[in-house]
A and B are shown apart, each in its own frame.
Chain A
Amino acid sequence: MNVTIVDYKSGNISSVINSFKEVAKDKVTIEVTSDLNKIKSSDKVVLPGQGSFKSCVDALNKIKGLTDTLNEFAITNKKPLLGICVGLQMFADIGYEETETKGLGWISGKVSKIDNQNGKFKLPHIGWNQINIVKDSKIFKDIENNSHMYFVHSYEFVPNDKKVISATTDYSSNIVCSVEKENIFGTQFHPEKSDRIGLKIIDNFINL
C-alpha cells in the first residue's frame, strides 16, 4: 500500500512526513509529491495545510491539474483522503480568511474566524485541547473520548450538514475539529503533533 502526502508548497509539512513515516515503518510506502500520476495511483492521500485558507487554495491552484486530480481521487473514485488543519478547511465551499476564497466544495459549509468574544479568548487557538467525539469515526478507533490534541488555528470550519461532524472541541464555542463524510476525513487539530494519541489516529487512517 502507498499513502501520498500532497506537497503543494503550502508551508511546513516536515512534521506530517515524519509522523507518517514513523507510523508506517516498512509496511506502507509514504510518498511526498505533487505528481498527479502518483497521486492518482496511490491508495490514500493526505492533504496538509498551513498558513491561510487563501494561501493554501492559491497554492493548490498553482499546480496545474491538482484540484481535478484530487476531485477525481476523493469524489469520483471515493478513495480515502485525510485533510489536516487548513487541509480540512479547504473541504468547504468558501473561506473568509484574508478575502473570500472558494474552497474545494466537498463538504458544504464555510470557514470563518473563531468568535473570540471581544478578546476574551486569545487567537490563534494554540495548544492542547480535548476532543468531544460525537460520532463513531473510523479514524477514532481506540481513541478515548476527551483525548487531548494539539491545535493551532484562528478559523473554524462550519459545515451545513452537522451529520459530518465526528468531534468538536470547546474554545469560546463548540468548534468542529473532526469530520467524516464517506471516504473523506479531516482533523482541525494536528495528529502529527499530538503525541502518541495523534500517531494512533494516523495509524487508524493508514489501516482503513
Chain B
Amino acid sequence: MLKNRIIPCLDVKNGRVVKGINFVDLKDAGDPVEQAKIYSDGGADEICFLDITASNENRDTIYDVVEKTSKKCFVPLTVGGGVRSVEDINKLLNCGADKVSINTAAVENSKVVIDSSKKFGSQCIVVAIDAKKNGDKWEVFTHGGRNNSGIDALEYAEQMEKNGAGELLVTSMDRDGTQVGYDIDLMSKISSKVNIPVIASGGVGNLDHLVDGIKLGKASAVLAASIFHYGKHSVKEAKDYLDSKGIPVRI
C-alpha cells in the first residue's frame, strides 16, 4: 500500500537555514545540510528546500547546498524558490535535486512546465500553487505571494496537470504562518480535480492538522515547516501519530 508522505520544509536564504530546528546538539543550526540529515535520519519521506534568497548575486548558494545535501541524504530532495527557466531546473537536477518546484515561472510562461517535463520527465516537475481565497474561489498568487494573477486556482491546477506537472504543491496563503491548519476545502477541491498527487502546505500548527490534510484534504503528502522547528515535534512523532489515526505511513 502506498504511504502518505511527511515532508519537512526548510527555508534557505543565502545558503543558510532561516528558521530551523534548534536542537542543543546541533553544531551549526544554520547549516541546511546538517538539518536535512537530521530530518532524513528521523524518517522524513522527502526533504524540501525553499530558497528565499532575495538578491541575484547570492542565487548560486542554493546549488552548493543541494550538492552537499544530496551526498548525505538518500531520500528525495525537492528544491524550489526562484526557479525561472529550464536551465535553472537543469542546474538544480545536476546538483542532485530529485524534483524542482516551479511557482511564478509556471504562471508567467507555461512553456517552462511543458518543456521541462518533456526534457526531464514529469516525475521531477512539481508546480507550486500559492492560492488565496477571494469570495467563493481561490486565486493564484506569484512572486512569493506579492502579486495576484487573478487566475482561478482550480482551473490552473488542471492546466498544470495537462502541461506535465508530476505533482502539485498547494499552499494556502490565508493559512500560511497562522498555525490554524491547512485550508481543507482548497486541498480537497484541487485533489479531486486532478489525477496527480497533491502536497498540502500552509498552516500546520499541530499533528492533528497533518491528519486532517490527508483524511479531509485528500492530500497524498503533507508539508510542514514550523512544527518541526525548535523541536516542537519530530518527524517520528508525527508519523507515529498519523499511524495511530489509521493513516498509512512509512515507519
Residue among A124, A194, A198 facing the most chain B CB atoms (10 A cut-off): A124
Q: Pick from B2, B40, B121, B122: contact of A127, CB below 8 A.
A: B2
Known contacts A12-B98, A123-B195; decide if A199 and B74 are in contact (CB<8 Å). Answer: yes
Q: Pick from B94, B96, B167: contact of A126, CB below 8 A.
A: B167
Which chain B positions have C-beta within 8 A of A102?
A: none
Chain B residue at minimal CB-CB distance from A12:
B93
Label chain A's interface by main secondary structure.
mixed
Give the docked Cα–Cα distance between A150 and B119 (Å): 22
**B250 CB-CB contact with A under 8 Å:** yes
Would A119 and B75 count as touching, CB distance under 8 A? no
Chain B residue at minimal CB-CB distance from A123:
B195
Would B5 and A127 count as touching, CB distance under 8 A? yes
Q: What does the 1/0 interface line of B174-204 toward A look like (CB < 8 Å)? A: 0000000000000000000001110000000
Known contacts A12-B94, A193-B76; decide if A122 and B195 are in contact (CB<8 Å). Answer: yes
Minimum CB–CB distance from A54 to chain B (whole Å) comes to: 11
**A38 CB-CB contact with B under 8 Å:** no
Q: Which of A61-86 contact B (CB under 8 A)?
A: none
**B95 CB-CB contact with A under 8 Å:** yes
Which chain B positions have C-beta within 8 A of A193?
A: 74-76, 98
Number of chain A interface residues as a range: 35 or more
Minimum CB–CB distance from A201 to chain B (whole Å) comes to: 11
* B side interface size, CB within 8 A: 32
Minimum CB–CB distance from B73 to chain A (whole Å) comes to: 9
Minimum CB–CB distance from B8 to chain A (whole Å) comes to: 15
Would B220 and A122 count as touching, CB distance under 8 A? yes
Would B70 and A127 count as touching, CB distance under 8 A? no
Would A14 and B197 count as touching, CB distance under 8 A? no
Give the docked Cα–Cα distance between A55 and B118 (Å): 9
Q: Pick from B4, B74, B120, B123: contact of A19, CB below 8 A.
A: B74
Which chain B positions have C-beta within 8 A of A192?
A: 74
Would B40 and A195 count as touching, CB distance under 8 A? yes
**B27 CB-CB contact with A under 8 Å:** no
Which chain A positions have C-beta within 8 A of B3?
A: 127-129, 148
**A25 CB-CB contact with B under 8 Å:** no
Which chain B positions have C-beta within 8 A of A152?
A: 76, 123, 166
**B130 CB-CB contact with A under 8 Å:** no
Q: Pick from A123, A150, A194, A198: contact of B196, CB below 8 A.
A: A123
**A11 CB-CB contact with B under 8 Å:** yes
**A105 CB-CB contact with B under 8 Å:** no
Give the docked Cα–Cα distance between A51 and B221 (Å): 22
Would B74 and A196 count as touching, CB distance under 8 A? yes
Known contacts A193-B76, A194-B74; decide if A51 and B120 are in contact (CB<8 Å). Answer: yes
**B71 CB-CB contact with A under 8 Å:** yes
**A40 CB-CB contact with B under 8 Å:** no
Which chain A positions have C-beta within 8 A of B76?
A: 150, 152, 193
Give the docked Cα–Cα distance between A94 and B188 (Å): 38
Minimum CB–CB distance from B103 to chain A (whole Å) comes to: 19
Q: Apart from A14-B93, A124-B123, A127-B3, what are 5 other A-B pairs with CB-CB below 8 Å?
A: A55-B121, A128-B2, A152-B123, A154-B122, A193-B98
